[in-house]
Amino acid sequence: MTSQYRLKTPLSSEELGKLKIGDKVLLSGKIYTARDAAHKRLVQLIKEGKGLPIELEGQAIYYVGPTPPKPGQVIGSAGPTTSERMDPYAPFLLDRGLKAMIGKGQRNKEVINAIVRNEAVYFAATGGVGALLAKAIKTSRVVAYEELGAEAIRELEVEDFPLIVAIDTQGRNLYEEGVSQYCLP
């Protein structure tokens, strides 16, 4: 049986520990966007012992490269991108306080281990509905790596951004357990 929660960033291990795979979450507050090019730069800064351009503690990163906004819009279509491209970098960010990642698709074992180790979660956003997801985004501004265009790091203010818990703090994985529940023997 799934539950529905309303959460606001910054996120804590205590509140994330209540979530189970399949739970619905309406997320509000500040989140960041970043894809593989930005992740690579963030990890390089970490390895060099330098400061990051964003605060990771208790935050969520949404794997998205939004399209340009039309006149009067805050942001264009903002659907999730495939998460596995961020897998080489995600454990570094989780170990430095990141509490949630938002994307679509499976994660590798190292990422799942880092999720468990850091009492974090992986949320799935529904692919193919980027225009609808954009309606939950109230503000958008580039905060780092503007030269990356759509892949720049943005700070988004979201209100009731709809998500599903795909990997919970215990490492339970909806992409594995969900399949076993719905596939024929």
Total Cβ atoms within 10 A of residue 167: 25
- Kindly name the residue from 21, 34, 39, 114 that is annotated as catalytic: 39
For residues 131 and 13, which has the higher predicted lDDT (pLDDT)?
13
- Predicted pLDDT at 183: 59
Model confidence band, residue 182 (pLDDT cutoffs 50, 70, 90): low
DSSP one-letter string for 95-123: TTT--EEEEBS---HHHHHHHHHTT-EEE
Reference 123, options 156, 165, 176, 91; nearest CA is: 165
The per-residue pLDDT for range 134-156, each reduced to its tens digit, is 999 999 999 999 999 999 999 99
Model confidence band, residue 184 (pLDDT cutoffs 50, 70, 90): low
What would the CATH number be for the domain defined by 4-182? 3.20.130.10
Active site residue 38: no
- The ranges assigned to domains in the chain are 4-182
- Given a cut of 80, whether residue 37 has pLDDT beyond it is yes
Q: Cα(103)–Cα(106) distance, rounded to whole angstroms?
A: 9
- 3-state percent breakdown (helix, strand, coil) of the chain, nearest 5: 30, 30, 45
